[in-house]
Every structure is written in structure tokens, then in C-alpha cells.
Structure 1
């Protein structure tokens, strides 16, 4: 069951303050991914509307890409519903003063499987480092087809596209997996984010941000982050900020 909250514009703006070292635009992309994975179309549409009104928002094509890649983790139906909502939000955000938001209407790439396998394997190795062969073998033992598709289609065709940087995609993946209660995959991608250069502080900021958009967050989310990053230590400033949110 979807558990996304109904968020107001002022609340969204507040939640996007005080999140350094997490980049604000990267946080917006991650929010798009998390809400897509949850599947609550109405609440997702509201947040898409609000994000598009933010003066320092990411490029809409990047926002759409964050939604698109989530089909790998939450399924085609939820991604399609969110993409349709985002397109409508872009239409609503266009006006004579701000200009029209134009989204690409043709596929970015053709069907070059050799290229997809090559760049997918490279990205897979970047994420999982010395564990990459073992993780690949686990997938292929479960299903040789799924193992092959994961590298060629998932990492190669989708996640290696240059619309988003690998580090941005990594944050979006974490945000999408957090509400899905998939501990092994989330734990692996937290480690992958570290391997790509994200600091523990950045990842904890993401962990603190995303649950605020939901009525419920599985306990496995915190378990996964702690398994890789260790127990979280909250500063006095962060504690005060958290209390402001709780009672606002």
C-alpha cells in the first residue's frame, strides 16, 4: 500500500533546507524517485508540481530520468503512472512568463546491445568493486536471464545514460529502495554509493530526508544504512532541526 504523505509547498521548501552536504538538486531528484517507487499518483503529482516551481530545481529532463530509472526497482506500472503525472505537471508549469517546459519526444538511444553490455559492466564494477563478480554470480545462479539483463539492460541501457551522473543515480536508487523493504538490495546500494564517493554524512542526510515524505518507512531502511555506515550520531543542530519539523 502506498504510504506517501500529502505535502504542501511550504513544507517541501522547509524540508529542502539545512540538508548540506546533500546537494539540493540531487535531493529533489531523489524525492522524485522515492515517490515514484511508492506509487501514490495524487501525492506524487502534487510534489512534482511544487518541485517544478522551485527556482533552483534540476532540469526537468533530469527529473524525468530519475522517475524513469525507478522502473528497474519498483516496476513498469508505477514508473509509467509517475511519468504521465510528471508530463502533466510540466504542462501546468509552463506559462508565458516562465516559458514552456519542453521534454524530449524521441528515444535518447538506439538498440546497441554491445555498447550496453560494455558500459553496464563498467558501471557495475564501479558500484560493487571487489564484490562485483560475486554479486553478478548470485544473480546469474538465480536466473541467468535476469543476471544478464541486470548488467546489459539495467546498468547498461538505463543507469549508464549520461543524463544523470552515476552519483546522482545512486542517490535516486537509494531513495526508491527505502520504502520498498528490500534490505539486501538497499544495503548493496548504500555500499555502492560509498564506492562512488558519497560521504556517510551525505547519505545520512538522504536517509533523514526521504522518510519525511511518508507515513511509514520500513525498519529495513535504517538497518541497511547502519550496516554499511555504522550507527548514526546526530548533532545538536540536527536534533533541533528535527524537532522543528516534528512540531511544525
Structure 2
């Protein structure tokens, strides 16, 4: 199959992004094929686990549990868990969120607090602290995976924000665009088209700012 043979040419981060999308879209066959390719490439199992674990922030516990169970059967490694440290997650979350959103950080929290103070707090503690601040994947790798997920699920506003965030932490634009276009390899052409439309919107707005 042409699409599956093309997986062999993808970089590690592209495959991690694509398996994240396959996970949230429940494309079980493609998920298995991509997982097999990652393992053939000797991708550290920790990286695959972290990419799949963070999907629960976007697709919920049921989706993540299905994917993590499949992964566990393929790898069969016992996981260790250090425990919950609220203060650490809060500090780490604030630092990571500031890196991603830069000068838009305060406005982001202010906006979310206006309709849900709980979500504003959980964004920092749960999202950027507890999950996205974990070791195993770099923040850059996590952002590329998230962009693939948000393109797959067609969340325009969040995708746009994470494209900005990825650029803020120096993820190359060509890596962002490739991770979006790769969605066509798992028969998610409409998601790839959606993601590229949002990416092009970001580029147009940035070019307009530069020329003004």
C-alpha cells in the first residue's frame, strides 16, 4: 500500500505526530502500522508512551486508554509513577505556558477565566504542568504532536494558537506543515486540508504584520 510505505520516510517526530492523530481519530489499523514502524525505527518506547498519554487532554480518557492498552500489549513494559506534586505542576505549567504563548499568556488566561475560572487553572496545572511538562518528549515534539491532533479533530482556534506557540519555541514551519499534510497518509485528507487552511491563515496574517 503506497501510503503505508511512505511512512518509512517520515522522521521520528512526524511518526509520533501521526500516531497521535491516528489515536484520536480511532484509526486502529493505521495506528498499528505506525506503531510497528516506530518500533522498527528503535524509537524509545518512552517517547511513544508520552505522545499517546497526552492525547487524553484533547480526546479524553476513553480514547487514550484504548491506545495505551494497545501500546502496552506491543511493548509490555511496566510503568513507574512518581506521584502527584501540585506545586511542581503549577510552577512548571506557568513556565511552559509562557514559553508557548509569550506576550499573549496573560490575555489567554484572562479570556478563559472570563467564561471558566476552573479551566484557566486546569490549563496550567493539568495541561502544561502535569502532562506537557513531563520528561520523555521535548516541548517542541509535544507541540508538533498537538498540532497533528488539533488538525485531525478540526479545532480551528486551538490549532491556530498552537501553531503560534510552536513557532514561538522555534519549531520550523516546514515541520509544522509536513505534520499536517501527513494526515493524508491515514486517510484523513479533510483533516489535512483543514490544518493547512489554518496554517495558511497564520502565514497570511504574519506576512501582513511584517509588511505593515
TM-score of the aligned structures, taking structure 2 as reference length: 0.88
Aligned to 1:131: 104
Aligned to 1:95: none
Q: Are positions 1:193 and 2:166 aligned together?
A: yes
Change (3 A) 1:211 1:136: farther
Residue deviations 1:41-88 (CA, integer Å, cap 9, x gap): 344234323432x2x342011101100001101111111101111112
Residue deviations 1:71-119 (CA, integer Å, cap 9, x gap): 101111111101111112225xxxxxxxxxxx34221x32111110001
Equivalent in 199, 202, 212 of residue 225 of structure 1 = 199
Change (3 A) 1:209 1:114: same
Q: Are positions 1:180 and 2:158 aligned together?
A: no
Deviant stretches of 4+, over 6 Å: none
Q: How does 1:51-62 map to 2 (within 5 A)?
A: 51-52=38-39, 54=40, 56-62=41-47
Q: Which has the higher helix share?
A: 2
Aligned to 1:86: 71
State whether residues 17 and 149 of structure 2, in contact with CA within 8 Å, keep that contact through their aligned partners in structure 1. yes
Aligned to 2:6: 14
CA RMSD, 1 decimal: 1.9
Aligned to 1:170: 143
Q: Are positions 1:213 and 2:186 aligned together?
A: yes
SS of alignment partner, residue 197 of structure 1: coil
Q: Are positions 1:72 and 2:57 aligned together?
A: yes
Counterpart CA distance in 1 for 2:8 and 2:173 is: 19
Aligned to 1:242: none
Q: Are positions 1:40 and 2:40 aligned together?
A: no
Larger radius of gyration: 1
Residue 122 of structure 1: how far off its partner (Å): 0.4
Q: How does 1:104-119 map to 2 (within 5 A)?
A: 104-107=78-81, 109-119=82-92
Equivalences, count: 204
State whether residues 3 and 186 of structure 2, in contact with CA within 8 Å, keep that contact through their aligned partners in structure 1. no
